[in-house]
Structure 1
């Protein structure tokens, strides 16, 4: 199959974007379809660090070989702009070539969550891994690795008992880390109490049961374990205010780890024995969420945010009412983004502090007295 360099690049990249493969799998898929001379030239040197660079290199090499062929053959001057990337024409005895079409992505896919996965020390966590679009037995096996820049350590396997590297066997034998099958095609790596030293890149791999090696057989995800540095320090509000005055609710919230994490602050009130009622939340995306019973008041300007920075968060309740009497609470929550393109929020930590009770004294209203009725003498007869 012959494709011009531009058509090839666009079509391959377009189809690649629809697959859930990792870059090594796409790289192998791309190399699979190259002609012998281009593939040999590429493999004779270090592979480019990215798929885009590999595609560009293949196009440049194809242009170079095309120019050489034209230089050796009589005829008109070569036209580099019409160069082609050539896919091999196979005989019936050769394996089936890569097909650019609807079947492009029909191959094994191993998936882990999009990282980095940020968790707080001491929490019980798990990392899920799924495999799909595979051939062979319905029940698939899995292997977990810990990947470093200079080496890869074997952690645990669903089928090989002595799989773990000797340096991590005590870790596994203690039960601090283990695996749990979630079905035929899913597994999770579990941490009893995750530690900062557990931070790293974890690889989920599946041994091949396919008739043809195609797709991605492993997926990596980075785990970041941070210490619990979230602090909440509310200022004690004025314990008694008159109706119509303001209630100032000030809360200082800080954290030591700011990369990948975001804060939200919620002000709430507890009236007597009633459950905690949310007044207003700011964050984690710099948006404001108002409690159901305070929507109109916020719209009317009765709730004002004071955000000077430096971890200071303030909320002012203007024109206090007797219904504002109660115990106030400040709650800080630490969040991370997760999912594709960070579309979803996941809460990793929450801390609440009592701010104090506020009594609202109703304003005394002057008692209205009935007006005296003066007698009307205008129509009285003269005596």
Structure 2
């Protein structure tokens, strides 16, 4: 067929469609909806398929739970007298009103939801067509729930220097009985108006951290963080504050609920009081440099360091200088010139071994006489400008580059070797580390000091000091390591130092090292360190207590009737009394590839977490984990259906509190419990042939499901179609109930699935507009039901499952029309070509016509110049 024929055929097809009357359909927001008392609520309603004017009218009514059959009129877009008396005042005061989104779609607004607003809402559109054809109203349910969301933060007034850090705490809680999620966000107000608020950092309802546009880079480097502590505490950490952070900070919490159409709606929002933040800005004209007379020294030499400050009008400004060695403070000279030594260096300064001077307002010097090995490292000076000499905070700070100083050891051969008899210890067992020292001289005759260092496992930071033992026997513990102090015993014997740790805990696992200093007696009473050495590292592993949990591994089966409730049991054979148990339930579907699906996990605190395949509200309401006794867990399955078939099992974890936290000791896996369905004595005859079909995307395909043979008289049939997911789980697509109603669990395909039933025994499924995601395995389940009599239920008489149909999808065929439509430039050319040809033709005709008129005008003028003389001859005038 040529292109012209295709276009003519398409035109005729569209013409036929235009003559066919459309069916009127009214659609309202899907319910039930849960909304918070006092909130602003909107319900949408739209109409399609009408033949009347473009602007349609809408009328809203409610059916209250107390009188579900009685219509109570609320508001109308056309009739001001439509509302009943109980709604008249709220409608007139705009407490309830209708917003027209477009001609055929509106929103019903309830500005402050009340308890009496709960009920079934109906949207009605008066007929504007020539005849009634279709639906003219639709209903949805609205529930009113209490607002339990709370958010609080203590208001503060903070003044920080640029570069400082701040931490703010927000307490958020809710007690809504429905399944809801929380989002918690921090916002910044630069000015007084709330419209200027910008997002700092938000923990979304999906548990995703999202920084605001102005805070993305700081979030990536870790200067903006949100930490959740416990169930209700959210902490915002803002590091390296900037002048742009000045203003007001507050926390906002929102509670979200998932509506039946799978969209999430925020049903409540709460803001905390605000914290005022003032940031003192730092200037940028301060330059700092450091230099050394010599940076390669031997023990006993003198180290001379100079720090130079460059700044405009430096003589009238006030500076504080801090000397640093390996980022640790050595000494500081404040803006008054007062010198303060760090505690570690104070003794050496009193002995005249250290000196720090302010030579001028821009030159500062640090001198170390008789340097030792411990004086090796990277030196820097930090300079802060103070607004006035008495200020505690600088208005700007700059740090010099680092200068490396190396001190060589006056050949003492000092060495330290660290060892332990055992490298792996059980939790609660004691162990001992021995630091053995050797040198080229008699160690018993000189004072020695030892420093014990520790790095936790896994390494999260460099080695840090635990304790130091001085030559006079004084012991100095680091305050942050108090948990070691309570369990440690320090000993010295001849040339060895010992660290004995009692009752090892998990926090004691890591790498240990000892550092030894040998002192001189002949310098001054307290002595001077002559040499320093570090030992080899020794790793200690702490093995947690062995798990005692034992789970029954016997396989079993459970038989259940369709739509009935059942429970899968997980029995604990043995567990320690002082441990806590967490249980995770898994399912192996019949067609699974060996990978189990996580259904639900209940941790040792009872907090539930659903797997991806079971996280929908419908699945969460059907699968529940319950501890029915000290040694029995149940997985409850409500309204079991054929899609729940498979083998179930549990994994039980044993957790124990070990001084510094909860630790998982081990786990046990149960046997498999097969879930089977009670089948009626009689089996329906359904075609069980396995088939393979292919369909091109965009086309239509029919999947066969044929009932063979006769059925009992007076019975009704039902059928359910399933698609087998990649996980092996049966996913119901469409159910035809015995009363003729159709249920579509997957709303995304609702408009593409049809049961056309040309005969009573044909339950074939038609899938229109095939998509690539439709590929997979399909099967149907047919059941026969019989009514048991007046006031009795319907009873299942027979059932059967069809074979599997494998559907493969083919990409759409490339045609001339599809190529044209897929190429915007070619399509535009074809659409514009007739217009261009018409314009060219019009231009040609216009040119010809002008030329013709000009020629004709010339002929007329020539005729006017000719006359006849008296003799009848022609003469020209």
Q: If the length of structure 1 is used for normalisation, what is the TM-score? A: 0.53
Whether 2:341 is the aligned partner of 1:341: answer no
Taking the aligned partners of 1:272 and 1:369, their CA distance within structure 2 comes to 42
- Among 290, 311, 315, the alignment partner of 2:232 is 311
Cα distance change of structure 1 residues 369 and 208 upon mapping to structure 2, 3 Å threshold: closer
Quickly say closer, same or farther: Cα 1:258–1:264, change in 2 above 3 A. farther
Deviation digits for residues 253-283 of structure 1 (CA, Å, limit 9, x no counterpart): 2345463654322223456889544321111
- In the other structure, the counterpart of 1:199 is 118
* Alignment deviations for residues 167-220 of structure 1 (CA, whole Å, 9 cap, x no partner): x42332553666548365445544354323212221112355557755433212
Find the aligned partners of 1:115 and 1:135 in 2 and give their Cα distance.
Answer: 28
Q: Which runs of 5+ in 2 are unaligned?
A: 1-18, 295-877
Higher helix share: 1
CA RMSD of superposed structures (Å): 4.5
Separation in 2, partners of 1:221, 1:287: 32
Higher relative contact order (CA 8 A, sep 6+): 1
Q: What's the CA shift string for 1:97-119, capped at 9, x where partnerless?
A: xxxxxx99952111222345555
Displacement of 1:248: 1.6
Q: Please state if 1:145 is matched with 2:64.
A: no
- Structure 2 CA distance for partners of 1:343 and 1:247, relative to 1, 3 Å: same
Structure 2 CA distance, aligned partners of 1:139 and 1:324?
A: 50
CA distance in 1, matches of 2:82, 2:263: 37
Aligned to 2:217: 296
Secondary structure at 2:88's aligned position in 1?
helix
Residues 215-230 of structure 1 mapped to structure 2, 5 A cutoff? 215-230=134-149
Give the corresponding residue for 2:72. 154
C-alpha change, 1:124 and 1:339, in structure 2 (3 Å) is closer
Cα distance in structure 1, aligned partners of 2:172 and 2:21: 48
Higher strand share: 2
Structure 2 counterpart of 1:354, from 244, 268, 274: 274
Q: Which moved more, 1:209-218 or 1:260-269?
A: 209-218
Rounded to whole Å, the distance in 1 between the matches of 2:289 and 2:99 is: 77
Partner residue in 2 for 1:259: 178
Q: Deviations over 1:110-146 (max 9, x none)?
A: 1222345555544555533221102456664544321
Please report how far the alpha carbon of residue 235 of structure 1 lies from its aligned counterpart in structure 2 after TM superposition.
4.1
Q: CA deviation at 1:240?
A: 5.9
How many aligned residue pairs are there?
266
- Mapping for residues 9-28 of structure 1, pairs under 5 Å: none
- Between the aligned partners of 2:287 and 2:201, the Cα distance in structure 1 is 35
Deviation at 1:233, TM superposition (A): 1.4
Contact 2:243–2:281 (8 Å) recurs in 1 = no
Q: Is the 8 A contact 2:151 2:270 kept in 1?
A: no
**Which deviates further from its counterpart, 199-208 or 343-352?**
343-352
Quick check: which has more Rg, 1 or 2?
Answer: 2
Task: Give 1:1-383 correspondences, 5 Å limit.
Answer: 106-117=22-33, 119-123=35-39, 125-135=41-51, 140-148=56-64, 150-156=68-74, 168-173=84-89, 175=91, 180=98, 182=100, 185-191=104-110, 193-208=112-127, 214-235=133-154, 239=158, 246-257=165-176, 259=178, 261-270=180-189, 276-318=197-239, 320-321=240-241, 323=243, 326-336=246-256, 341-343=261-263, 345-346=265-266, 348-357=268-277, 368=289
Deviation, structure 1 residue 155: 0.8
Query: C-alpha distance in 2, partners of 1:105/1:299?
Result: 59
Q: Give per-residue Cα distances to partners, 1:276-298, cap 9 Å, x unaligned.
A: 44321111322221122322222
2:33–2:259 Cα contact (<8 Å) kept: no
